[in-house]
Amino acid sequence: MADDAIRYLERINQQQQHRRLLLLLLDSGRRFMLLGAAILMCELLTMSAPTPTPSHPGPYVFVAFLLWLLGAALAMLSLVAGQFPAFAAVAAAIATKLRNYLLGGV
C-alpha cells in the first residue's frame, strides 16, 4: 500500500513538473514574440518619419524578427513537449537564461 502511494505521488510530481515546463515554454514564447513585435513596430514607426534621404531598415529589424521566430518556436514546442521531454527541458533552460539576460528576469 505504501508503494502504491509513493508511485502515485511520484506520478503527480512528474505531471506538475511537466505542466511547469509547458507553461514556462509557452510564457517565454509569448514574451519573445511580444518583444520582437514591439522592437519591429518601434523601428517601423521611426522609419516612417519624413526624411530628406531614403532610410534603410536598421539592424534591429533583423534582431526583432529573430526574437519573434524564437518565441514562435518555443510556443510550438510547448505543444509537443511531451513527445520530446529532453529537448523541451533544454529549450526551457535556454529560454530562461535568455529571458533573464534580455528582460532582467521579467
pTM strictly above 0.75? yes
Q: Per-residue pLDDT for the chain (106 aa), expressed as one digit of tens each?
A: 778 878 877 888 788 888 888 999 999 999 999 999 999 888 878 776 566 555 666 788 889 999 999 999 999 999 888 888 889 889 999 998 998 898 886 6
C-alpha cell at 37: 513585435
Distance in angstroms between the alpha carbons of the first and the last residue of the chain: 44
- Whole-angstrom distance, CA of residue 106 vs CA of residue 46: 26
Query: And the C-alpha cell for 35?
Result: 518583444
